[in-house]
Structure 1
Amino acid sequence: MATLTAFVLAAFVGYAGFWYLGMIEGNFALLMFMATVVTGIYWLAEQFYFLPQRKAAVEALQAQADKRTAELHAQGITQTDVNVTEAKERLYMQPWWLDWTAGLFPVIAVVFVLRSFLFEPFKIPSGSMIPTLHVGDLILVNKFHYGVRLPVLNTKLTDGNPVQRGDVMVFRYPPKPSLDYIKRVIGVPGDEVAYLNKQLTINGQPVTKAPRADFFEEGSMSYIPQFEEVLPVGTKSNEMSVKKNHQILLLPNGTGAVNPLFDFPHKENCSYTIEGITCKVPEGYFFMMGDNRDNSQDSRYWGFVPEQNIVGKAFFVWMNFGSLSRIGAFQ
């Protein structure tokens, strides 16, 4: 068992190492699932086979010691050196290969359940969601808000809350589902979304935006025009009355024209002009955009996000080691 366990652990380490070096395309959800299954098998074997064997060995050793003591007492010898405490401790101790498998199962299982069904941490790698989210923000994503899903398969088990415009959502990047992306929901199924000359319009209604103090971008050491955008919240194309505010960055130059990076499902629902893009969001899909409008590759470039790609709703920055003031909820 020691050799087999060493091979299993080496396989996990090798997978993680090749993934870290970029030699393979890793899947953390699958890795966690396999770790839970493997350590769970060892934990069951420990509880119902290995531990009872060690207990039986300890009891047999204690019985032998008691028998030896009784024999000495029968011979009139009361001072004996029969002490099996240390030997019993050695017999009862888990071998290293059980300590590194069955011993880790409770921790791995708890992390797997929390990450799969409740909350998952993510790190913001780019500036596409500035000023809402900054590079280095460590965020929490609610995994059950839009419905509970099976880990790895991402199959939906419960309905949960419907996706609304304005939600900051983590999803699997449609061209490469092994990658997780984060953007803001701009269009829900049935919406007609237009982004022409840097003016966002939903179902024919221009989305208002008011100038705010310029945002200082530390990476480029420059100030970028900042606006407060008032986005209609709703889950259907005919729901436009309730509105919520959030901040966006928008450079004054350019028309907002974009070029699609490649073909994507339902591309025929979109028209591209020198002024920008107009799209009709198909059923079961969503149109996503970054808050840093001129520095975000989003649905304008690679298309709609299918419902089955949803990971969860982002809602809280729990740490940014470069700026503790970043901690807190966000819109």
Structure 2
Amino acid sequence: MSAAHRLARRVLSVALAGSRSPWGAAVVAELDQVTGTWAVLRWTAGGLRVAWRERRGVRLTTAAALVAAVALATFTVRPIPSGAMAPTLGIGDHALVDRLTFRLTGIDRGDVIVLRAPTGTGDWFTTVDRVIGVGGDTISCTGGRVHRNGTPLEEPYTHGTTTDCSPVTVPAGTFYVLGDNRDSARDSRHYGPQPAANVDGRVIL
């Protein structure tokens, strides 16, 4: 075996290590039948192309799997569990929920969130509500309208429904939430502002 053959075999063995393709094995096995230095170089180049195509396929498959895993961890489609947000969201409607990035970007006033809320009897229930106040805000109701820091809110999503609530200053790290369906929603008027740890996601679609 010539020096060119030995070098070519070493290069191809490294490049095709772990190859599942029969072409990869054939490239190495039939190398000894190739004669001439230039022919060996051409044969080696062909083997490296096989290795590149396989590696590229593995890289693309791995990248696609990673993207899918991140998407599944970040977003989920959930059915709306109650009528608290009607008519904006009806019972059984499906919403795309961001379960990850909101932890980095934060929750703001007006966001619609998925929340684990206390029942008052030691249990929890899942609800979807709108964030009305964040830490430091003062929430009150006058004449059926919600006021935040003394300013009445424009809330077209309630479709003219009146709102009654007790004045409260929202503690730091918590959110004051109300359902759009003010007549029947069970929200912060009942269980108070809720900590950020109870937020399970932000509705984005």
Does residue 173 of the first structure (1) align with residue 62 of the second (2)? no
Partner of 1:301: 190
The separation in 2 between residues aligned to 1:145 and 1:174, in whole angstroms, is 24
Is the alpha carbon distance of 1:293 and 1:178 closer, same or farther for their aligned partners in structure 2, counting shifts above 3 Å?
closer
1:59-70 to structure 2, matched below 5 A, reads none
**Match of residue 167, structure 2, among 272, 275, 278:** 278
Question: In structure 2, which of residues 180, 192, 201 is the aligned counterpart of residue 291 of structure 1?
Answer: 180
Equivalent in the alignment of 1:198: 144
Rate the CA distance shift 1:168–1:177 in 2: closer, same or farther, 3 A: farther
Per-residue deviation, 1:208: 3.0
Unaligned runs of 5+ in 1: 1-109, 148-159, 210-227, 229-246, 258-275, 317-331
TM-score (norm 1): 0.38
CA distance in 1 between counterparts of 2:123 and 2:75 reads 20
Q: Give CA-to-partner distance per residue, 1:194-223, whole Å, 9 cap, x none.
A: 1233111000111135xxxxxxxxxxxxxx
Runs of 5+ unmatched residues, structure 2: 1-66
Which residue, 199, 202, 207 being the options, matches 2:153?
Answer: 207
**CA 1:120–1:283: 2 relative to 1, 3 Å:** same
Deviation for aligned residue 1:112:
7.7
Q: Distance in 2 between matches of 1:296 and 1:111?
A: 35
The 1:190–1:138 alpha-carbon spacing in structure 2 relative to 1, beyond 3 Å, is same
Larger Rg belongs to: 2
What is the DSSP-based 3-state SS (H/G/I as helix, E as strand, rest coil) of the residue aligned with 1:301? helix
Q: Residues 143, 277 of structure 1: CA spacing in aligned structure 2 closer, same or farther, 3 A cutoff?
A: same
Partner SS for 2:204: strand
Alignment of structure 1 residues 1-331 onto 2, 5 Å: 114-115=71-72, 117-147=73-103, 160-175=104-119, 179-209=125-155, 228=156, 247-251=157-161, 256-257=163-164, 276-316=165-205
CA distance in 2, matches of 1:134, 1:196: 28
**Equivalenced residues, count:** 138
Identical aligned residues as a percent: 35
- Opposite residue 85 of structure 2, the aligned amino acid is M
The DSSP-based 3-state class of the residue aligned with 1:141 is strand
Q: CA contact under 8 A between 1:192 and 1:202: conserved in structure 2?
A: yes
Deviation per residue, 1:99-157 (Å, 9 max, x gap): xxxxxxxxxxx998654x3112211132210121112211110112222xxxxxxxxxx
Q: How much has 1:191 moved relative to structure 2? A: 0.1
State the SS of the aligned residue for 1:287: strand
